[in-house]
Amino acid sequence: MMEKAIIMAGCAIGAGLALIAGIGPGIGEGNAVAKALEAIGRQPECKGDVTSTMLLGCAIAETTGIYGFVTGLLLIFVAPGIFIGKL
């Protein structure tokens, strides 16, 4: 009983820590967009290139948050079953 509780608590804490990874991309994307707007304001003729590069950069940054989220989901829904099954 105690072992199950420790496993569940460990998984919950781990999931919470993994979801912290979701904070960074939001801040990073915001900063990237702000700088891209600055660049477009300076050189409006580069708008197409900057938009395209910013789009792919934001997509890559966002995946970091999704990695954390997937890890959190696995820790909440999948890992407890695996570890408790081994007891």
Partner 1 sequence: MKLQEATKRETLHIAVGTLAFSVIMNGVFVLLGKWDMTVLWGTLLGGGFAVANFFFLALSVQKLAAETEEKKGKAWMQMSYNMRMLATVIVGIVGVSVPCFSWVAVLIPLLFPRVTILAMQLLGMYKPEKAVVNNDKGGDESV
Residues that bind partner 1 (CB under 8 A): 22, 25-27, 29-34, 36-38, 40-41, 47-52, 54-56, 58-60, 62-63, 65-67, 69-70, 73-74, 77-78
Give the residue with the Cβ less far from partner 1, 13 or 77: 77
Asked if residues 72 and 19 have their Cβ atoms less than 8 Å apart, the reply is yes
Asked if residues 61 and 25 have their Cβ atoms less than 8 Å apart, the reply is yes
Give the residue with the Cβ less far from partner 1, 10 or 40: 40
Residue 27 makes CB contacts below 8 A (sequence gap 6+) with none
- Residue the block writes with tokens 């801040």: 27
Give the residue with the Cβ less far from partner 1, 62 or 83: 62
